[in-house]
Chains A and B, each alone.
Chain A
Amino acid sequence: MDDNGTLWLPEGASTIAGEVDALFYFIYWVSVIMFIGVIGTMGYFMVAYRRRSEADRPTPIKENKLVEASWIVIPTILVLIVFTWGFKSFIKLSVAPPNSYEITVRAQKWAWVFEYPDGVISNELHVPVSRPVKLRMSSGDVLHSFFVPEFRVKHDIVPNRYTSVWFEATRQDTFQVMCTEYCGTRHSYMLALVIVQSQDEFNRWLQESGIPEDASPAERGALLYQQQACNGCHSLDGTAMAAPSFQGLFGTERTFEDGTTATADENYLRESILQSSAKIVEGYPDIMAAQRYEDRLTSEEIDALVAFIKEQ
């Protein structure tokens, strides 16, 4: 990945990035100039007026109202300029164009779920290039925040409410979505990819991502495992994350935090999705129930997931 950004900013990849960056640099350079002015003067005075002897008796300086006024008026004008500029860009950032392509975002501890208008669900954010995309976002649990540095967009995601953010990507590449509102242990792992594609490639991806009619339950389960963000907590390769790995789980004896045990059969797997708090495996937190999968998955989807987990 090539970054043609600057010391301060990654290369912009959205239509708003240019004007945000211009304002950033305007303030930056004005600040640098004023800083050099103030600190330079300070440095000069430090030397030019250094104490030469104990007998130094400076004459008091008289208050100069013109000087005082100038350093009230000039900064006021400067801040009014940057305020107005920032305000205009902010209005653009706040109001999505009317023909935006809408994608629903569900944020939860600690994964992202993106739902597309035709019902496709994925944990990757695919967007067509050069087209305004509006994200309608909600959280399943606590505050999260959607941030893509290259797009220069960010917005908090609030539970029980919709918030939104929009952008129009300008180049085809892959970027990082980061959660930027502290949400618990794995806050720094709550990442997703945003893949900017041409309209054709995007359409193709959308078609292929729908679950094929003739997929077996286990294949369907594999897709659901990604789309419902199970992979945020359950690995397939044995790594212990926030929840037990699915590798080799089916059929084994599970030990729970209250000391009881049970075999991981199909009923156990089903109960673990619908009423996860009933049996918590020793050493893991009781955090799955907050996702309310019992409200989000159909019976067929649960069957598919069970079939998938059995195969690991």
Chain B
Amino acid sequence: MESATQPAGVAPQAAEAPPSGTPNYLTHERGLWSWLTTRDHKRIGILYACSLATFFLVGGVLALLVRLELLTPGETIMGADAYNQTFTLHAIVMVFLFLIPGIPAIFGNFVLPIHIGAVDVAFPRLNLASWYVFMTGAACAIGGILVGGVDTGWTFYTPYSSQGTNAVLFMTTAVFIAGFAGIFTGINFIVTVHKMRAPGMTWNRLPLFVWAIYATAIVQVLATPVIGITMVLLFLEKFIQIGIFDPALGGDPVLFQHFFWFYSHPAVYIMILPAMGIISELMGTFSRQKVAGYTFIALSSVAIAFLGFLVWGHHMFVSGQSPLSSIIFSMLTFLIGIPTGIKVFNWVTTMYRGSVWLQTPMLYALMFLFLFTIGGFTGIMVGVLSVDVHLHDTYFIVAHFHYVMMGGTVIALLGGLHYWWPKATGKMYNEPAGKVAAALIFVGFNLTFFTQFILGSRGMPRRYYDYADLLDRHPEFLGLHQASTVGSWILALGLFLILFYMLWSLFKGKPAPKNPWGAVTLEWTHTTTPPGPHNFDRTPLVTRGPYDFHLADDVFGPLHTGDGAGDGTAQG
């Protein structure tokens, strides 16, 4: 047993409680300026958290408006142009200003350096710069809304987008700029994991969250420049009619789709890989069990990152690309299901003979498994060539990607939020409220989106403002749309409840114990709650794996399980 190597009499690192009044990363410097000029990865994570929460709120309200319009056939609250702009903006905000920066920007920034035993990321100033670059991109998008908005769909297909209004210029610029934020973050994380690991932190002792963020960073670095150049070319197509994508000028609209999806498919892996990293952490901690199949899960992240670059054409089966291309893309698409399945099976196995604790973060992890599995299987359906011909561009697709992006990424993000909230804020959120919100979200989500699978396979196209003329032949569309809209209200209620009790906890929450979950990764065992500005008092020397729950007790004393009585260490 490795703990036998520890010299006798040396106080375990984790047992040291800091002298009272020691400043943590939140308190050691105060004032807005200290936040806006920070190089602390934890503070930058908080900056991103505030920005992304705001954009999620904006995108969410837009979604509610979309669903509200669809509550009745014909005009409900807005005209066709407004509706088309609303769903376009909903997606642009959600994809580019929330999901893609998403988990890496918030939790990658906050947790990754601590997970590897580092003081900060490799390039702290670049890290801060990436937040400013991101916010500049967001401001550009707001500019686009102010000059009239776009209605092209977030996919900007030509020639509709290159013949459209000038707002397209703003949106393409916004995506270009925000893309650089992602590139900088990706570069930072790769070099950090290569160069800043603490002594003894070998690759196979890295927490799976780090593997996930690392694989994501590789995708970000390789894929994002392609959307960059695509946006430049679209900008120029609109601005000076360079004729690459507009057939009226000699260009090819299908070429645009290839360019666009070459990035946007790997982009969805940028969204889901970090989420899977969080799920690994949650399944381990809340089963108090080593995550099953560590090597398989770690390598499957890399496999998904790689394979993700080969399948973009499955968005284009009916676009006019050659049938041969479609066949190849379909074949490759199925391969990605395999590493994904490996993860899901291993996560479930992690609970086997474990000690499962159904706190809110774990409820989200289990919810992820439920919802993401549905999303994954429906992905198989739409990956099949002949079936996709029927399902493409219908609500089935909308339901599929909401199951994986929202049921997957957002649910995992909420799990991570509840998990790391005590560490980041020093406060506990209200656990019963957490469970209630999770239940509302689960019910609301399924009601909203499961109905959309049926809408789609029965023939309801997507991006339709009005379905009145379809009711003759498809009367079921009305009830399904109405059910979906009601679901969106329940979902929204759950999300607003989270916002409420999280903010409440900042002011009135119980102070968090050091390690309420009994986790054994470095952020829980070797930093204070909240962490100090430099994370660790001394550089940790790593001698065991990230999920060695059975060994941790001997070093750190019995693991605390969250009743707030203390942090369960030898010194109490």
Contact = CB atoms under 8 A, between A and B. Distances in A.
A147 interface: yes
Contact of B330 (A51, A54, A86, A147): A86
B513 to A, nearest CB: 13
Interface stretch (B98-106, B141-149, B341-349): B341-349
Interface stretch (B46-54, B124-132, B456-464): B456-464
A117 interface: no
Nearest to B551: A60
A12 to B, nearest CB: 10
A158 interface: yes
A188 B467 contact: yes
A49 B287 contact: yes
A83 B458 contact: no
Of listed B247, B374, B380, residue having the most chain A CB within 10 A? B380
B353 A158 contact: no
Given A41-B348, A154-B393, A178-B459, A34 B385 contact: no
B175 to A, nearest CB: 18
Interface string B452-472: 011001110111111101101
Contacts of B295: 63
Contact of B353 (A59, A159, A178): A59
Contacts of B387: 20, 23-24, 27, 86
Contact of B457 (A9, A59, A88, A141): A9
B549 interface: yes
The number of chain B residues touching the other chain, given as a range, is: 35 or more
B526 interface: no
B518 to A, nearest CB: 8
A113 B431 CA distance: 61
Contacts of A93: 385-386, 389
A52 B84 CA distance: 53
B341 A75 contact: yes
Contacts of A244: none
B352 A79 contact: no
A154 B350 CA distance: 43
A61 B389 contact: no
Interface stretch (B179-187, B304-312, B318-326, B531-539): B318-326
Contact of A50 (B318, B350, B358, B474): B358
B258 interface: no
Contacts of A147: 393, 459, 461
B355 A28 contact: no
A180 B392 CA distance: 8
A114 B384 CA distance: 30
Contacts of A71: 341-342, 345
The prevalent SS among residues of A at the interface is: mixed
Contact of B466 (A152, A182, A189): A189
Interface in A192-244: none
B247 A154 contact: no
A23 B474 CA distance: 23
B349 A154 contact: no
Contacts of A118: none
B285 to A, nearest CB: 12
Contact of B159 (A31, A90, A159): A159
Contacts of B461: 147, 178-180, 188
B348 A42 contact: yes
A83 B160 contact: no
B500 interface: no
B377 A34 contact: yes
Interface string B335-379: 101100110111011111111111000000010011001100110
Nearest to A158: B320
B151 A45 contact: no
B459 A142 contact: no
Nearest to B458: A10
Given A56-B288, A86-B330, A152 B341 contact: no
Interface in A135-149: 141-143, 145, 147, 149
Contact of B318 (A46, A156, A160): A156
A7 B378 CA distance: 16
B338 A76 contact: yes
B555 to A, nearest CB: 14
A179 B353 CA distance: 53
Contact of A154 (B81, B318, B458): B318
A61 B352 contact: yes
A159 B253 contact: yes
B381 A24 contact: yes
B331 interface: yes
Contacts of B318: 145, 154-156
A309 interface: no
Interface in B283-306: 287-290, 292-296
Contacts of A141: 159
A143 B453 CA distance: 25
A96 interface: no
A183 interface: yes
A230 to B, nearest CB: 18
B389 A153 contact: yes
Given A10-B459, A39-B370, A188-B464, A83 B334 contact: yes
Given A8-B457, A45-B351, A61-B353, A38 B373 contact: yes
B337 A79 contact: yes
Given A61-B292, A180-B394, A189 B386 contact: no
B522 to A, nearest CB: 19
Nearest to B152: A182
A163 interface: yes
Of listed B335, B350, B357, B389, residue having the most chain A CB within 10 A? B389
Of listed B287, B354, B386, residue having the most chain A CB within 10 A? B386
Given A10-B474, A88-B386, A182-B157, 6 more contacts: A54-B561, A57-B550, A61-B353, A90-B327, A155-B318, A187-B465
Nearest 5 Cβ contacts at the A-B interface: A149-B459, A89-B386, A86-B384, A90-B385, A56-B355
Interface of B: 80-81, 84, 151-153, 157, 159-160, 163, 247-248, 253-254, 287-290, 292-296, 318-320, 323, 326-327, 330-331, 334-335, 337-338, 341-342, 344-346, 348-358, 366, 369-370, 373-374, 377-378, 380-381, 384-390, 392-394, 453-454, 457-459, 461-467, 469-470, 472-474, 548-550, 553, 558-559, 561
16 contacts: A8-B453, A10-B458, A23-B387, A27-B387, A45-B356, A83-B384, A89-B385, A143-B159, A143-B253, A155-B318, A155-B320, A160-B247, A161-B320, A178-B461, A181-B157, A187-B463
